[in-house]
Amino acid sequence: MKQLFYTFGLLFFIACSSSKKTSKKALTKDFASKFAASITAKKLKEHVYIFASDAFEGRNTGEPGQKKAVKYLKDFYVNNNIASAFGTDNYYQKVPAKFLNKNSRRGKLKDSENVLGFIKGTEKPDEIVVISAHLDHEGVKNGQVYNGADDDASGSMAILEIAAAFKKAEKAGKGPKRSILFLHVTGEEKGLLGSKYYTENPIFPLANTVCNLNIDMIGRVDDLHKADSNYVYLIGSDRLSTQLHQVSDSINAKYTQINLDYRFNDINDPNRFYYRSDHYNFAKHNIPVIFYFNGTHEDYHKPTDTPDKIEYDLLAKRTRLIFHTAWGIANRKQRLVVDKVGIE
């Protein structure tokens, strides 16, 4: 009888230990990779070939081609059941012509729109991670369409697939703890105007904005990296938050192993890229930022920036890096600390 009780007790102990291990494994299972895998070169290519097609007429701010672009973005969110940031069926933040023309000297501009998709956080819904890219480009000049495939169809379409991946997570019961705002801004080519308007008229308080991950040109390879295209430039990651930089580096090391090139993050960089894309309007408000960028190339701001020149496997890998970074920030226990304000 003693032997029987001993055997039963041993089996019970083993079963409990096994259950605890299984439970712990379930709690620590890495779901990020599962959802990141839904971001593919094929889907990004399909998007870019439409968004940067001649039909969109170069997406010039306020013009008919730009209106087609914002409809494409809205339709994607609607078709994928991704909510509007307004909590209604309206996905557009109107950017009035009066504001645009007051802040730009680049021609007479018409009313335009930012496009905002949104996934509400499960535990800290009032804390917002903003992922941005500009939807506009140069339009039509001298009868030639400036398609802007890299600048910035690559970034805009990356956001769509990141949003779709987060939506898959939400549907699987693994939605982000913090909310994600998918922000497509207009008027970047006219002077960062759409992001300026958003930060001056935010849908969510800027005090609640954890960080801004800004994507502007991530589909090509510059001359400095022809020998090894597995890179992306990161700008601004350590300017306002030591933690953001650390989180970004560790996530890349774990998931994507892309060579992170920081040369343009130098405060003495003569190109001044830190000040030249939409993240800067968030940084001005002491919101930590990362600017993802592939550098300029021979087709930069030319009608030859076309979809056939995008490296789609590389675009997908860079997009997955941004997804993983957003996932890590949205799901970490503590909000990122802003510890470097005024330090340059």
Asked if 177 and 328 touch (Cβ cutoff 8 Å), the reply is no
The 3-state DSSP composition of the chain as helix, strand, coil percent (nearest 5) reads: 45, 20, 35
Domains and CATH numbers, the chain: 30-331 (3.40.630.10)
pLDDT in tens, the chain (344 residues): 444 444 444 444 444 444 444 434 343 478 999 999 999 999 999 999 999 999 999 999 999 999 999 999 999 999 999 999 999 999 999 999 999 999 997 789 999 999 999 999 999 999 999 999 999 999 999 999 999 999 999 999 999 999 999 999 999 999 999 999 999 999 999 999 999 999 999 999 999 999 999 999 999 999 999 999 999 999 999 999 999 999 999 999 999 999 999 999 999 999 999 999 999 999 999 999 999 999 999 999 999 999 999 999 999 999 999 999 999 999 999 999 999 998 75
**C-alpha span between 36 and 33 (Å, rounded):** 5
Q: Compute how many other C-beta atoms are within 10 angstroms of the C-beta atom of residue 94.
A: 14
**C-alpha span between 20 and 14 (Å, rounded):** 10
The length of the chain in residues reads 344
Instruction: Check residue 222 and report its DSSP letter.
Output: -
Tell me the sheet residues that pair with 130: 181, 212
pTM confidence score: 0.92
> For 94, phi and psi rounded to 5 degrees?
-65, 130
